[in-house]
């Protein structure tokens, strides 16, 4: 399986868009339609979260989506069925967002074998510390699956250096302390860390957690970020809109964000 994350960053100009939705929200059929719609309307890479009962890195919107999906019977196996139904229907590389206990309980080798079958290009494990990730990283590398590393605003220079120089795919820079979602002005420290990472590695820097405004997008373009993750706003549409219009609304949001990344960078 050829990993296309690198190709996307090399071939696309400007700020790349990486939307996130939880698998199975609001139901499996509409979820599939929503993911296809994101792909058609400007997503460069798509992040998909596997529902979990204790998502410590996620804010209330994504927690709510996970809880509702679990009540509807969505587990890893059903998440894989959704992914199987997407094969050949989208062009964007897929990255799966999963917690470490889920991975252990399912079986790491079995999980990675399934990702290969499903042509998933990357994996994010938000609660797995970098220093404890080397065994998983080795297994991912053998299977040409990028284990995406996260960097926090509180990381020391030595830690940033270690993570940046061993990164796969891209670096996921967390824009704030705490969980996903929320609003607020981006901290100037983010600009410094982006610059620091880009001096240490040629791997792209993608910023996520709490990105939801045109002003933030403009700042991140000025600070030379390579991509943004938009999660809670996408999930919120699937949770709060009627089933008849949520895919249309999500398509509109993705188009709007994509236009912002293009027009603001001109």
**What positions carry a catalytic annotation?**
47, 58
**Alpha-carbon distance 239 to 230, whole Å?**
15
**Alpha-carbon distance 108 to 119, whole Å?**
16
241: Cβ contacts below 8 Å, ≥ 6 apart: 249
59 and 179 Cβ atoms separated by less than 8 Å: yes
User: Cα-flanking dihedrals φ and ψ of residue 59, to 5°?
Assistant: -80, -175
42 and 86 Cβ atoms separated by less than 8 Å: no
Axis-axis angle for helices 214-222, 246-263 (nearest 10): 40
Maximum Cα interatomic distance, the chain, rounded to a whole number of Å? 50
**Alpha-carbon distance 190 to 174, whole Å?**
9
């Amino acid at each position: 399986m050829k990993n296309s994350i690198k190709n996307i960053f090399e071939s696309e100009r400007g700020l790349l868009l990486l939307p996130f939705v939880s698998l199975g929200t609001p139901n499996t059929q509409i979820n599939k339609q929503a993911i296809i719609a994101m792909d058609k309307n400007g997503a460069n890479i798509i992040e998909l979260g596997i529902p979990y009962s204790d998502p410590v890195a996620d804010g209330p919107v994504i927690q709510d989506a996970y809880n509702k999906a679990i009540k509807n019977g969505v587990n890893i196996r059903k998440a894989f069925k959704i992914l199987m139904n997407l094969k050949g229907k989208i062009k964007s590389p897929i990255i799966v967002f999963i917690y470490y206990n889920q991975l252990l309980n399912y079986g790491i080798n079995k999980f990675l074998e399934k990702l290969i079958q499903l042509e998933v290009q990357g994996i994010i494990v938000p609660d797995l510390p970098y220093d404890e990730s080397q065994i998983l990283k080795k297994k991912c590398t053998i299977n040409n699956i990028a284990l995406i590393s996260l960097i926090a605003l509180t990381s020391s220079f030595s830690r940033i250096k270690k993570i940046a120089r061993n990164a796969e795919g891209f670096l996921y820079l967390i824009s704030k302390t705490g969980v996903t979602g929320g609003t607020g002005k981006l901290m100037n420290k983010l600009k410094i860390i982006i610059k620091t990472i880009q001096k240490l590695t040629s791997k792209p820097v993608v910023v996520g957690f709490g990105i939801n405004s045109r002003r933030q997008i403009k700042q991140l373009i000025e600070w030379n970020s390579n991509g943004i993750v938009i999660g809670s706003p996408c999930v919120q549409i699937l949770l709060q809109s009627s089933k008849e219009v949520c895919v249309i609304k999500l398509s509109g949001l993705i188009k709007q964000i994509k236009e912002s990344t293009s027009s603001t960078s001109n």
